[in-house]
Amino acid sequence: MRKVVSQFGQGPLQQKLTAGDLHFLSDAEVSKGGSGTGPSPHEYLGAALAACTSMTLKMYAGRKEMKLDNAIVTVDIERHDDVETFSRDIQLQGNLSAEEKERLLEIAHKCPIHKALAGQIQIKTQLVN
């Protein structure tokens, strides 16, 4: 996996992000002191779960030759009492049986980002010169 690097961008909170040769932005909403030029860090976290879920479903359905035309995954994150709650809605499109839909729901819980967020996480931080 490529390392992600963040550094100050333009405006009060914008961050310039790179992952290998890819360049993108993160920012806060205007109402939260940013310029709104990119997704917030929490939106990227939700996007990671949504994208990983959809990719996992596509790979599994392909291997099992299921007729999954699309998986639309919507993630919302809310914080209450220092607890982050991820609400994930999955819309499966295609000619799928009830059993296939149920199996795909089980597989959604096995996507690597779901596992990372639901499991133990360690963050190791150090200052470098």
pLDDT for 81-99, tens place per residue? 999 999 999 999 999 999 9
Rounded to the nearest 5°, which phi and psi values hold at 15? -120, 135
Q: For a pLDDT cut of 70, what percent of the chain falls above it?
A: 100
Q: Looking at this protein, which amino acid is placed at residue 11?
A: G
Which tokens is 51 given? Answer: 């994208």
pTM: 0.94
pLDDT for 102-123, tens place per residue? 999 999 999 999 999 999 999 9
Rounded to the nearest 5°, which phi and psi values hold at 58? -65, -45
> What is d(CA 50, CA 77) in angstroms, rounded to the nearest whole number?
11
Which tokens is 68 given? Answer: 């999954």
